[in-house]
Chains A and B, each alone.
Chain A
C-alpha cells in the first residue's frame, strides 16, 4: 500500500513536469482493496486489473520501473510504447493486461478460467470491475457465461462511489452490488474495502470456493475514490467535505498501521524504515525509466500479426518506392510523351 501510494505520488510529480505522456490515474484511498484482494491469489493464478489496481499489479510482481516506463511511453516499456499507464500485463506472472472498454475483461477472464476447467488445472482467475463496469453488457454476459460453466472465477467489484463523475445511484437501482450475485445464481461476498484484512478474508473465501469447484463469486469491496477520474478531473461533482471526511477518518493505510500497532506492536522505526525503502525503490526506478529511450517510430509497424510480423511503410514516406514505377508503364502508354514533344 505504501509503495502504491508513493509510486502514484511520483507519477503525479512526473506528470506535472510533463514527463508523463498521457493522464495519471490514482487509486488514493483504495489501496487496501487492490492489495488485499490480490494477496488472496497464488502465483499460478491469473488476475486482470483495472486502472485503480496498481496495488494488485505490484503484488503480482509488476516492477515500478515498468509502470513508470508505461506512463512515460518508453520503447522498453512492457507494451513497447503501444499502450498507456497500467494497460499492460505479464502472463508469466499471472497478470493479463486490460483494455479501456469496461466489462470486456470479465468475458476474457471467463475464457481464461474456462481453460483451467477444461484442462483440470488447479488455478483460479480474478477480474476487477468498478461500480460503473457493472452496467455494461459485457460484464453481464461474461459473469453469466462463467456462472453457467462453473468457471473458477472471482469477480471483484470495487464500489468506489464514482464512475468518472457518475455516482453509483445513477449507475444502478440495486441497493448494493453484491445483490447482483443472486440473479446470477452465484455466491456473493461483501467487505469493507478500506480494511485490508477484511478484503483479504472475503476474497480468500471466494478464491477457495473457486479452487474447490464452487464456481464464480462476486466480491463487492466498499471503498471511496479520493482523487478524480484522472489528474485533470476537478471533482466539482463531489459534495463539499466528502473527500476530506474520508481522508481524515477512513484512510486504508492509516487503518492498517493502527492494526499493526495494536496487534503486533509495530514500532515507529519499522514504519520509517519501510517508507525509506519505498522511497529508494521509487527513486531508482524513476532514474532508470527516465534514462529509457522512446520507441523507434517505425516500430509502430510491428506486431499486428504473427505473419507478416511487420507492415510495409506506405509509399508516401521518404525512402519507400511508389506503388508503380514510371518505367513499369506498358509501351506506348500515354498521349504526349515528353521526348516526342521535344522532337516536334
Chain B
C-alpha cells in the first residue's frame, strides 16, 4: 500500500497501462514535454517517448476522430481534453461516429476520453463544467466519474481495457485534495459498479464525484446533531448505472436524496429519480428529492459560484426535509 493523491493515482494508472500494453498511447494538448495543464501526464513522455505521448494541435474533433481511427486498427488511445468543457467541440464525432461504430458494424472504438471536470475551483464558465449528462444520454458510450484516489486509478485502468469508448471524468477539485492508499498489484475497478461510501439505515444519499465528500460531511453532521444514520452511495459509473445498488439502498432506507454538481434540468438526478419511481415506489416513505447546481452557467466570483453549486449545508437541509417528511 502506498499513498497517492487523486491526480497521482490517474497518472499511475496511465503509466501502468502503457507499461502493460504497447498499444496504449496518449493524445492531447500540451501533454508531452509540458506534462499537461494539470501535470496528469507528467513523466509519461520521457518514459514512453513522443510517439506514444502525442502533443496535438488545438483540435478536439481531430483528437477524438483520430483516436477512433487508431482504435479501429487495434490501438488503445487515451485522449485528454485540457478541460472537459472543450469536449463540446467533439460532441459530433463522439456521439455520431464513435458511439455508433459498433452498432453500424464498423470496427469498434475501444478508447478513453478523459479530462479535468467540475467546479468549486473559481474556474468560471469554461473551466468548471460537468457535461456528463449529455454522454450518459448517448447509447454506445460509457461514463465513469471517480470520487476517490483508489477509484481514480482503478477506473482509468478499467476504461483503457474496456472494448468500448469510455468518457472518464476526473474532478479537478479532488486532484490534490484527496489521497488514498493504493492497493498493491493490478488494481482495476469494474465499470458499472457503485460503492457504498458510508453505511446507514435512515436515508440514502446517492451521488458521485466531488459531492461524495460533501455528502459524507453532511452525513457526519446529521449523525452528530440529529442522531440519524445516513447511507452514502458513490455511483462511480454513470453509464451504465448500477441499478441493483440503487434499488438495494432505497429499499433499505426508504428515503432517497440525489446529489450532484451538474445543473438540475436534464441532469442525472432526474434519471435516477425516475428509476427509483419505477422500481421502488412502494418502498418510499418520502418523495425522492434532488440537490443540484442551479440552472445557470457557472460564474467566476467566489460568492456567486458558492451560491450556484450545492454545498454541504444544502445537503444537510435537504436531508432533514426528506427525513422529516
Contacts and interface: CB of A to CB of B under 8 A. Distances in A.
Which of B66, B162, B282: most chain A Cβ within 10 A? B66
B75 A108 contact: no
Given A108-B69, A138-B93, A306-B164, A82 B104 contact: yes
Contacts of B142: 305
A323 B61 contact: no
Interface string B186-219: 0000000000000000000000000000000000
A110 to B, nearest CB: 5
B97 A79 contact: no
Contacts of A333: 282
A188 B142 CA distance: 40
Given A324-B279, A324-B282, A142 B65 contact: yes
Contacts of A79: 104-105
Contacts of A306: 102, 108, 162-164
A160 to B, nearest CB: 24
A141 B57 contact: yes
A136 to B, nearest CB: 9
B139 interface: yes
A307 B163 contact: yes
Nearest to A78: B105
Given A99-B96, A111-B67, A141 B61 contact: yes
A138 B74 contact: no
B103 interface: yes
7 contacts: A82-B103, A108-B97, A115-B69, A148-B56, A304-B139, A329-B282, A330-B282
A68 B70 CA distance: 30
Nearest to A117: B51
A144 B65 CA distance: 13
The 5 A-B pairs with the shortest beta carbon distances in the complex, nearest first, are: A107-B65, A111-B69, A111-B66, A141-B62, A306-B163
A145 B69 contact: no
Contacts of A78: 105
Contact of B61 (A113, A118, A138): A138
A75 interface: no
B72 A112 contact: yes
Contacts of B46: none
B265 interface: no
Contacts of A303: 102-103, 105
B97 A111 contact: no
Could you say which interface size class chain B belongs to? 35 or more
Contacts of A138: 61-62, 65, 92-93
Contacts of A96: 69, 72, 106-107
B235 interface: no
B59 interface: yes
A144 B59 contact: yes
Contacts of A144: 57, 59, 62
A145 B68 CA distance: 14
Contacts of B100: 99
Given A108-B68, A138-B93, A142-B61, 6 more contacts: A101-B92, A107-B65, A107-B93, A110-B65, A141-B57, A305-B102
Nearest to B192: A307
A200 to B, nearest CB: 25
Contact of A104 (B71, B73, B89, B96): B96
Given A104-B93, A115-B73, A118-B51, A304 B65 contact: no
A114 B69 contact: yes
Interface string A47-75: 00000000000000000000000000000
Nearest to B75: A115
A145 B62 contact: yes
Contacts of B102: 303-306
B281 interface: yes
B25 interface: yes
A107 B66 CA distance: 5
A97 B282 CA distance: 48
A247 interface: no
Interface in A83-135: 83, 87-89, 91, 96-97, 99-101, 104, 106-116, 118
Given A101-B97, A112-B72, A87 B104 contact: yes
Contacts of B59: 141, 144-145
B3 to A, nearest CB: 33
B267 interface: no
A212 interface: no
A172 interface: no
A293 interface: no
Contacts of A110: 62, 65-66, 69
Which of A138, A328, A333, A334: most chain B Cβ within 10 A? A138
A107 B104 contact: no
B15 interface: no
A118 B162 CA distance: 22
Contacts of A323: 278-279
Which of A79, A100, A114, A144: most chain B Cβ within 10 A? A114
Which of A109, A118, A137, A329: most chain B Cβ within 10 A? A118
A115 B74 contact: yes
Interface string B90-130: 00110011001011111110000000000000000000000
Contact of A107 (B64, B73, B164, B281): B64
Nearest to B98: A108
Contacts of B93: 101, 104, 107-108, 138
A100 B95 CA distance: 12
A80 interface: yes
